[in-house]
Amino acid sequence: MSTRVVAAILAALAFFAPGMAIADGGVPPPEQGPPTEARDARININEAGVDELVELPGIGPSRAQAIIAEREKRKFRRVEDIMRVPGIGRKTFGRIRGSIRVR
């Protein structure tokens, strides 16, 4: 195959498959890949302020303050550790589990 033909094919592929890199075998760019920490919408309970924590179901201002007080004593290593906070039991944890994370 001539160099011109190869160049024409590559140009056509680039035109019809934008965002797909030929060199990497057509792997989508990072913005289409799996969620990254930067795009993780879950609330980091080791860093969140009261305003973020009260967005969680069943967490009001006083419980949000209790979460902050507990993490100041000892950081949360697992999301389950939030159950150390008075007033957050299995039921509340079940409601917020998918909305929280630790780092």
Enumerate residue ranges in the chain where pLDDT < 70.
Answer: 1, 13-38
Same domain, 88 and 68: yes
pLDDT for 25 equals 55
> Residue 80's domain is classified under what CATH number?
1.10.150.320
pLDDT for 8 equals 77
pLDDT for 84 equals 97
Do 96 and 57 form a contact (C-beta atoms < 8 A)?
A: yes
Residues with Cβ within 8 Å of residue 63, at least 6 apart in sequence? 53, 85, 87, 88
pLDDT for 17 equals 57
Same domain, 82 and 66: yes
Outline where 21-89 has alpha helix (H). Answer: 50-53, 61-73
pLDDT for 9 equals 77
pLDDT for 56 equals 97
* Domain limits for position 29: 3-33
C-alpha torsion angle, residues 89, 90, 91, 96 (rounded to 10): 90
pLDDT for 39 equals 72
Which residues on neighbouring strands pair with residue 43, listed in sequence order? 100
